[in-house]
Structure 1
């Protein structure tokens, strides 16, 4: 009988357990929000040209899907350094530089973070992708994503933005952290800011 009583005494209080879980969850969320804000606040700003698709998310309203042809498609001959020895899943590091119009495009790619980067260049880190063997010892890089391919806008405004993007009038200002992580800062049409992302 006493053993049963001891078991009851040792059982954790469900209210305390729930409170601890809530604190951990809120702390994790706050950390993610602050990480995003730190990139928007301190990251280096670059301009990217977009290629949009405009679907509808019934849960969130309108959003534009943004493609970045100048950085998301990397040819094999752009890769510097060694390729992975086997098929793998990992990020790809791009070195970007601005063209004559101030738009940043990929100049080279590598499977490790570049060490020697010029002052006018920016390093951008992709989300992990599967690098497959193409033939023999040759490998290929699939389309790259960076976590900035979806941008929510007020309901009903997505199609108007898509039209402007299809006319080549839209650019995105992206802030990039020292670790190569990007966040969208502004969506622009004809160089004028249409939407400006708040820090929080």
Structure 2
């Protein structure tokens, strides 16, 4: 009888260990399948983390918004409502402390607020783009060089957004996925 209980407990623990990662994967795939795609203009930085591996850290041009209504606390979660500008890039149209109901939005974190400028600076949650280790350094160099190029809007991240959740799908240079761009 005791071994039967241990076996049932083992099965439950195994199902939970499989179920939680499967649910996380399913949620991300659902966002990629049914979410709305936005292009976010980027600025490059390339760190390496021995535990996470090689990745490109992305800064975004969309990192602030005018705000005169509320007091914002550093580290506070906010909701940034987004739409597309005339060139098809994401732009912030509002920030709130509660999730909006009508438009697309992403959850972000307050970096700091400047009351005399009436501006809030925030960090978007999709800043790390992981790559094969042998391509990551070349990708970082290519991304940096593309940022120096005189052509505007030539580097961006394609991010799918659904109900405040966001998944970074790819990074592009001149409309070419960065991994392919590095191989050229």
2:133 counterpart SS class: coil
Q: 1:145 aligns with which of 108, 124, 141?
A: 124
Is 1:129–1:142's contact at 8 Å kept on the other side of the alignment? yes
2:132 counterpart SS class: coil
Give 1:88 deviation, angstroms. Answer: 8.5
User: 2:139 maps to what in 1?
Assistant: 161
Q: Distance in 1 between matches of 2:158 and 2:61?
A: 15
CA RMSD for the aligned pairs? Answer: 3.1
Give 1:150 deviation, angstroms. Answer: 0.7
Greater share of strand residues, 1 or 2?
2
Q: Distance in 1 between matches of 2:122 and 2:81?
A: 16
Is 1:186–1:195's contact at 8 Å kept on the other side of the alignment? no
1:74 maps onto 2:65 in alignment: yes
User: 2:105 maps to what in 1?
Assistant: 123
Rg comparison, structure with higher value? 1
**Residues 82-136 of structure 1: per-residue CA shift (max 9 Å, x gap):** 636x95965211122322322112122111223454xxxx32222x55888x78x
Normalising by structure 1, report the TM-score. 0.70
Normalising by structure 2, report the TM-score. 0.76
Q: Distance in 1 between matches of 2:171 and 2:124?
A: 18
Q: 2:156 aligns with which of 150, 171, 186?
A: 171
Paired residue total = 171
